[in-house]
Every structure is written in C-alpha cells, then in structure tokens.
Structure 1
Amino acid sequence: MADLTLNEKRLLVALAPRGRAGAVALAEALETSEEAVVQYAHLCADRGLAAIERTVTKTYTLTPEGEEYRRSGLPERQMLEQIGEGIPMKDLQALPLSRIGIGWLRKKGWITIKNGVAQTIGEVPPGDDEIALAAPREGMPGIPDLLKRNLVVEAEEAAYTIAITPAGAALVASGLDLREETGTLTRDQILSGSWRTANLRRYSLQTPPKRIYPGKSHPYQRIIDEVKRILMDMGFVEMRGDIALSAFWDFDALFQPQDHPAREMQDTFYLDRTEPLPAGWEGVRDMHEHGGSTSSIGWGGVWEAAKAEQCVLRTHTTPLSVKYLIENPKPPVKAFALGRVYRREAIDPTHLPEFEQLEGIVMDEDVTFRHLLGYLREFYHRMGFENVRFRPGYFPYTEPSVEPEVWVDGLGWVELGGAGVFREEVTAPWGIEAPVLAWGLGISRVGMLKLGLKDLRQLYRSDIDWIRESPVIGEGE
C-alpha cells in the first residue's frame, strides 16, 4: 500500500482510534472539508481499507402558503367552521376560500349536499395533513398530501459515516509514512537537484484519469455546418432572408393558388400585420388569373391582393430563391439557403412546428432535368448516403418534379425532400428566361438519420450527456 496518498494515510490514522466516525468530525480533525473526507474515504474503500455508510434524511419546510394555513387552518377547515347548521351552496360558493375549500370538503367527506344545501357531518377531528402541517417531519402520514398541495417542500440531507476495516487497522498498526509529499516538481527543485531527496507522490498507472470534456458544438449544429461546407465546396453561395414574409412571397410568387389548402390557418402561422405588394406584382396576378403572356392558362378566378398582403411566418425557404433570382436575373446562378421554417404541426416524435429547411437553386442557359439529378446525387453522396434514387413527384411551382430517396440500413428507402425545374409561371413574371433547377430538403430529417435518433425533438434539446457522448462529425477535415 505504498501508493497511498498522504491524505488517505492521514484519514486512516485519524480513524484508527475511533473505529468509525462521521465525516463532519473527521473533517474537523483533519482541518479540511467534509467533501474532501468523503473523497479520501472512497479511495480507501476502493482498496478495502475503509467502509462508507450514507444516510439520507428528508426535511420539510412550509411554503408561504403552507405557513399561512398553519396559522389560520386549511381552507376546508376554515370553511367548515362557517357552515354551522347548514348553508345554501350559492352562499358557500361566495365565501373567500370556496374555490379551494369546497373540493376538499367534499373529497374528505366533511359535508353532505342535499337540495342545494351543504351540511356538516358533525365533529371532524384534525386530519393527518393538519397534524403534519403543524410540524412536518419525515414519516408523517399527512406529508404526501401536503406535497401535492405545494404546502411544503422536501429537501434531502446526506450524512456519511466512515469505518476502518481490519485491513486498514493493520496497515496503520504497521506504521505509515506521514511526511509531506511532492506531487509537482518546481523549476528550482529540478535545477538544484533537491528533487532527489523529496518524498515524491506515487501514481498508479492502472487508475484511469478523470475524463475531460472539451468544448464541442451541438451535434445538429455540426450537421448544419457540414451541409453548408459541402454546398460551398460545390460552388454555391449562401442566401439569407426574413422569417416573416407576406403571403405574396410565401405562396403567390410561387404560383400557389389562393385557395390552396396549405394556405389555411391550420397549416400556416398568420401574423397580425400586412405588407405592401412589391413592384411588378401585377405580373403575378395575371399569371394566376389567366397565365399572363405564357402558354399557361393560370388558375382562373379573381386574384385578391388583400390575401397576398397578409404576413406569415415563412412555411419554406423557397421564397428566398425567388427573391434572389429577381436580384440576380442573369445566369449563371448557384445559391442555397438553410434556415428555420414554421408550420402548424402537432408536436410528436417526427413532427415539429419549426424546423430547418435547405433550399438550393441553379440557373444557367442550358441546364436540364438531368443536371438536377446529378447535383442531387453528388450532394447526397457527399453527405454520406451511397445509394440514391428518384421517383416522380408533384409540387405547385416545379415541373417536372422529383422526390429523392436514399437507402438507410435498417430503414430502407427514405424520402429526403423534393426537387424540380421552376415552372414558367414562377419565373416569367420577373423576366427570368433561363431554366432554374430547384430543390428543398428537411435538414432535421437528415440529422435524425445521421445521428441515429428516433425522436426529432432530441435535435433541439440541450442534453449535456448526449452532446458529450456524440462523436464529432465533419470537424478536422
């Protein structure tokens, strides 16, 4: 046992004549803290030299409301004293404590109600909760009810008793070296050579060191950063925009009809504000009503400016693409947006009312649908999905449209977004003539797949243990 630390030796020496003692008393004897004594004791216990006993005591403290009722009585007791021979329920309900007291009077069976009149059942001795309220202590039967009513708060206090084992006592009897130890050499000790005669602390190479948790970004944030880096490596630039938009940009500019179900309140967060229509809005109106000057026949009917002026929390990032194309109408254009979008979804393991969406566009003179498939396949490969396939899809603002799928072991083929070529109804009102490839992707779904999660909500929780155990993704590359 030559590798015992000085503190362990001092603890055993202090404990030997006592046999067993509380951590508080030992801390006073060793002139240190109770926490330090418990730490030394655990080290000795690991070597079989000491035993530790932990005793937990629960204490109860009255809340301000509980203190008031201790002085005046519980609401039901106060009301019971006002009922007398009987009282109509309407008068009973008018008493100050009726909202709390009536329910407890009935639950405890202290009153009966007949023909709209409340009557007491006679003398009612103090209940367990009233007895406990006077002086709450652990083990009293009324404590659980007081806790449920938030009239007391519970606290736990731990006390440690440490006993020396026969092996520890024998070691003390054989003699222990209590000279001060040197754990870290100084520059002067090394230069002077005095380290040669110093009592150096011995270290066990079998003892695992304390685990260190370095600073680390959130696993989901690392995936978002990885996606941005991949797209920038592919030659894309990032576009940004407002979260609150007019319905004109979120729906109308994307040739989504004004009676489309997705525009209803049950799918969209509408704001109590409006925004003026931008210059050139007449072209979008004409496109909806009769197809403008294109080969389209539009949606027909009357397009309402008031509906387009309503503001919403953006339901997707595609409006950013249209705005970017208006600002950059000449090809070539390669841009992406990755931001938060909002929809009125019920919260469950696979749905949230807000999540991140990736939006990408490519505009050039001769790009085709085949180029779109190539971009998507390359992007998903770089994201780590080896097998990618496509199936036909439908979206109001692209034609042709496609839904990419990737193969995930244990899940099979998983759909990861939508893509297509912008329809002329989207680009023509703004004078954009070159074809535009576009796609959207829910990054949160990618995050779940890459991190092996079953619950989407985990991506947005600050679970420190999960963050510490999650491997670093994409850093250092």
Structure 2
Amino acid sequence: MPSQEDKLSALSPRDRQVLKEISEGLTDPKKIAEKLEIKEVSVISLAEGLAEKGLIKLEKRVEEVYALTEEGARYAEIGLPERRILEIAGVEGVPISEIKDPALKVGIGWLKKKGWANLEAGKIKPTGDDAPPGKDEVILEALSFQGETGASALDAEALKVLKSRGLVEPNTQKSWSFEIRDLGRSAIEKAALRRGAETSQPTSYVNQVTSDMIKNGVWEGRYLDYKGARYEVRPYDVTLPAERIYPGKVHPYQRLLSRMREIMLEMGFTEIKGEIVQSSYWNFDALFQPQDHPAREMQDTFYLDSKAEIPDYSQVKEMHESGGEVGSTGWGGRWDPEVARREVLRTHTTSITIKYLADHPNPPVKAFSIDRVYRREAIDPTHTPEFEQLEGVIMDEGLSFANLLGVLQEFYAKMGFDEVRFRPGYFPYTEPSVEPEVYIEGLGWVELGGAGVFRREVTAPFGIDHPVLAWGLGVGRLAMLRLGLKDLRLLYQSDVGWLRDEPSLVRM
C-alpha cells in the first residue's frame, strides 16, 4: 500500500493550488475557480480528490429551490385571478356573467376557498372591505424580486398550493464548502520546506511519460532532465482498480441467434421467411394435423377474427378424409375448408417450411428459418407465450434417416455440444421421429428439439416425391444453457446489470 508521503507527493500542481487556497480561507468553489481562472466544476472535482486523501473536509448540501413559471411570473406582475376579480367586484360585488375572461374565471373558486367572497344569486359578493395579501401572493412577489429561493425560506403550505396551480417549479441546487484539515496543512508546510531545500526546482510538471522520455531522459527519483529542462513526474499507484468500461455490444440472445444463422448458412442452407399470421391450412392442415387435434384448441393457439384465402385444397382434403394414394387411411370424417381458412398467429415455423416446399417441390432443397412463434402459454421461468424457433428441412434424392442424424450431430457440435444422443419420439407429421439430447455438466441429458422424416401424407398432396428431413429447435432453452440462465424471461428484458456483465467477445 502507498504511504501517506507517497499520496501527498502524487498531488498535481493544480491539486496543490486548490489546497493552498482552501488553507488560506477560501471555502466557496466558485471563488476559488475565479481566482485560479479555471472552471468551478474542475475545482469541485479536485476538491473531491483532496477529500479522499484526507487533506480537506468537504461538505455537500443539496437544497430544493423554487422559481416562477411563465404563468407565475405573469401573475406576479398583474395579480392572481382571484385578486383581480376582487378589484373588479369592489364593495357592491359583480355578477358572475360579467366575468367573461377564461383566465379570470379560474379565480372564482379560489375566492371562495380563501374566504374573500361569497356567491349570492349569481353574484360575487366580497366578504369584507379588505383582503390582505395571502402567503401565496407574498411568495410570488418574493420570487419575482429575488429569483430562485430555497424552500426552507418559503411557507410550505402556500408553496404547495402554488405548485399545484403550476405557478412555481422546483429545482435542485447543490452547494459545496471546504475546510482544511491538519494533514492538509502539513502537506503545504512540507511542500514549502521542500521548495526551499531544493536548488534545482522543476520548471514543469509531467502527467504523461513518453517512451522517448524513458529512453533518453536522465532520472533522479521523481525528477526528470529531458531536452534541457527539468520536470517533476507525478507518481502513480498501479494497484488502484481502473475505471470499468461498459462498451456497446450486441444483446447476448441476438448474438446466439446470429451464430445459429451463421452455422446454417455454413452448412449450405438457405434462409426463408414467412408471415406471422398464417391460415390454419398452412399451420395445421398441410402438416396432416386432424382438425379436431387438441393442439388446435383455443387453449393452445391464438386465433384471429379473420379468414384467409387458401390454395386448391382437394389433395389435402382427400388425404385427411381417406388417405389419398399413399396407403394411408387418413383421419376419416369430413374435412372442413372453413376451419382451414381461420387465421392464427403461427404456432411453429414449420408452417413456413411446408409452404416453401409446396412452392419448390423438386430437389434439391436445403432451407431453414429462425423466427418467432406464438402459443397460449402461462408465463413462468421456462415458458413464454412467444419465443424463437429454428426450423430446418432437406429434400433430395436418396436421403435417409441416417442423413438427418448426421446433420443434427454436426449442428450441435458447431454449437459447442460434444455429447449428443437421439431418443425415439412422436410428432404428428414425421415418421420416424427423434428427440435430440445434449449432455450438460451438472444437468445431465437435456432435450433440445424434435426431428424426423416428413410423412407421405404431408408431402404427397404437394407433388413432393422425395424424402424430406425436418427438424425444429426451441432456441430459448438452448440460450438458457449457453448463457447460464435460470429464467427464460431475462432474454426479453432490459436488465442492464446482466447485459453489462455478460462478456461481449465470447463466440457463441
């Protein structure tokens, strides 16, 4: 730890000037600034440093002061509306109908509140011969004459009334005063003795040492002879912590989404986009989900009071009702096109990929989508009604289930997960289906999505004759694992503390 002597020797020339003025009785930073011909804020900053070293005592006062608003200044000049009405009314009073100026009418209520007049048969009648100036009028006059005034010098109740009427406005006024301490006096005395004992007093003070000074200068302790001049070099305490810097950075969740997008593009996929509002046809029916499937119920889906135009649905209708020509029995019953026209907030991005496949039925196709989806979920640390989903599809000749597992293995490896396994799963529109899992230290195996090969009931109605590998990933759960979060909601909140602490240069 630096000694007290080191701390005193670290004072800059400006520190010493301010310390000297304070020792000579100047306590107001404004007066010190004027004498030294520097800014007042610089004096305050230097004084705070001196106070931290224990050389001076610094007292800071914060007081609420009041000044007139534009309207308050006008009333201070011409009088409050109630006072002016009273002058118009005289002894005999005045009918309310004669008070036509809107600016005066507001004073009628204040006349009654102050007890200056009564309303009798539509007439304003003064209660006495004279109404002495109220405390609010005294304050208006005082503020008009002397400007900003501390609240402690004004009547609190009258001030409250004037503030409610918008005639005065508060402001915060800060003031500082300084007082020399014994250690400060000692520092000045030692500096004076040192100046008298030193025969070669430095002509200048160096705050920044250059490499040339280090190489070509002649050093004697804290003094430097350089290019024919003598300098005193200010000591530095290298053990003090540096000021922390908070640089601008991309939100950690956005960085994760960008990394996932980058991986998909590196693997040769094409990014696709689609509308948030989708028809039930593309969101459910095109994926061979029966129209009475529980996932389509109101408790799971956001339905809109609108309907969409849908393409020729004859093949989809036949597939649902009888299984078409792919050896399926379908779902049976009657498929209703009006149900398919109902619009929803998309519940998955698969509605985008199936539409893209319908528009591009010939191989090869490698497409992905990272976008937001919506479901009627109760909000808790692991669920939100809107979240991001990553969807990928591959369609080509000769693809197999093994190809799907290889693509997923590669994707998760690029995301930093070394251990990946696959468990059998069930999804309405893929068969076979799997659930990829990754191993997380301390958590074990964690499921991160679903994948499979599109059923022929899904692809056949759109003329797709080749295998389609498909997979979807809940991005939020992956983000929680990568960022070490326990609450999914933090991804969507502006928690400045978390954003500042999260490293900005770590590759996702």
- TM-score in same-fold range (> 0.5): yes
1:88 — aligned with what? none
Say which of 268, 286, 291 aligns to 2:318: 286
1:40 aligns with 2:56: no
2:265 — aligned with what? 232
1:124 — aligned with what? none
Structure 1 residues 382, 154: closer, same or farther in 2, change over 3 A? farther
Say which of 388, 397, 420 aligns to 2:420: 388
Structure 1 residues 360, 42: closer, same or farther in 2, change over 3 A? same
The alpha carbon displacement at 1:58 in A equals 6.7
2:190 — aligned with what? 174
Provide Cα deviations, 1:29-59, integer angstroms capped at 9, x if missing partner.
Answer: 5555554334223322343323444455578
The alpha carbon displacement at 1:379 in A equals 1.2
Provide Cα deviations, 1:68-123, integer angstroms capped at 9, x if missing partner.
Answer: xxx9xxxxxxxxxxxxxxxxxxxxxxxxxxxxxxxxxxxxxxxxxxxxxxxxxxxx
SS of alignment partner, residue 471 of structure 2:
strand
Quote the Cα distance in structure 1 between the aligned partners of 2:174 and 2:180.
20
Provide Cα deviations, 1:333-388, integer angstroms capped at 9, x if missing partner.
Answer: 22211111112222222111211110011122222222222221221121111222
Structure 1 residues 331, 23: closer, same or farther in 2, change over 3 A? same
Quote the Cα distance in structure 2 between the aligned partners of 1:266 and 1:288.
23
1:16 aligns with 2:23: yes
Alignment-mate amino acid for residue 259 of structure 1: D
Quote the Cα distance in structure 2 between the aligned partners of 1:338 and 1:298.
31
Alignment-mate amino acid for residue 49 of structure 1: L
Structure 1 residues 195, 228: closer, same or farther in 2, change over 3 A? farther
Structure 1 residues 159, 334: closer, same or farther in 2, change over 3 A? same
Structure 1 residues 442, 23: closer, same or farther in 2, change over 3 A? farther
2:372 — aligned with what? 340
Quote the Cα distance in structure 2 between the aligned partners of 1:410 and 1:57.
55
Alignment-mate amino acid for residue 323 of structure 1: K
Is the Cα contact below 8 Å between 1:222 and 1:473 reproduced in 2?
no
The alpha carbon displacement at 1:273 in A equals 2.4
Quote the Cα distance in structure 2 between the aligned partners of 1:346 and 1:198.
74
1:5 aligns with 2:21: no
Unaligned runs of 5+ in 2: 1-7, 68-79, 81-138, 140-149, 196-201, 211-224
Alignment-mate amino acid for residue 188 of structure 2: V
SS of alignment partner, residue 212 of structure 1:
coil
Quote the Cα distance in structure 2 between the aligned partners of 1:398 and 1:350.
26
The alpha carbon displacement at 1:160 in A equals 4.2
The alpha carbon displacement at 1:313 in A equals 1.5
Quote the Cα distance in structure 2 between the aligned partners of 1:158 and 1:199.
38
Quote the Cα distance in structure 1 between the aligned partners of 2:505 and 2:331.
47
Provide the TM-score with structure 2 as the length reference: 0.69
Structure 1 residues 447, 182: closer, same or farther in 2, change over 3 A? same
> 1:460-475 maps to which residues of 2 (within 5 A)?
460-472=492-504, 475=507
1:450 — aligned with what? 482
Is the Cα contact below 8 Å between 1:183 and 1:201 reproduced in 2?
yes
Is the Cα contact below 8 Å between 1:5 and 1:201 reproduced in 2?
no
Quote the Cα distance in structure 2 between the aligned partners of 1:156 and 1:425.
73
Quote the Cα distance in structure 2 between the aligned partners of 1:386 and 1:470.
23
Quote the Cα distance in structure 1 between the aligned partners of 2:305 and 2:188.
79
> 1:127-142 maps to which residues of 2 (within 5 A)?
none
SS of alignment partner, residue 366 of structure 1:
coil
Is the Cα contact below 8 Å between 1:246 and 1:308 reproduced in 2?
yes
> 1:15-414 maps to which residues of 2 (within 5 A)?
15-18=22-25, 21=27, 23=29, 26-27=32-33, 30=36, 32-33=38-39, 35-55=41-61, 159-175=175-191, 181=205, 197=229, 202=234, 204=236, 206=238, 207-278=240-311, 280-414=312-446
Is the Cα contact below 8 Å between 1:181 and 1:200 reproduced in 2?
yes
Quote the Cα distance in structure 1 between the aligned partners of 2:328 and 2:169.
70
Is the Cα contact below 8 Å between 1:181 and 1:199 reproduced in 2?
yes
Provide Cα deviations, 1:369-418, integer angstroms capped at 9, x if missing partner.
Answer: 22222221221121111222222221111111111111212222211111
**Largest Rg, 1 or 2:** 2
Structure 1 residues 260, 161: closer, same or farther in 2, change over 3 A? farther
Quote the Cα distance in structure 2 between the aligned partners of 1:155 and 1:300.
76
The alpha carbon displacement at 1:28 in A equals 5.4
Unaligned runs of 5+ in 1: 62-70, 72-134, 187-192
Which moves more between the two structures, 426-435 or 399-408? Answer: 399-408
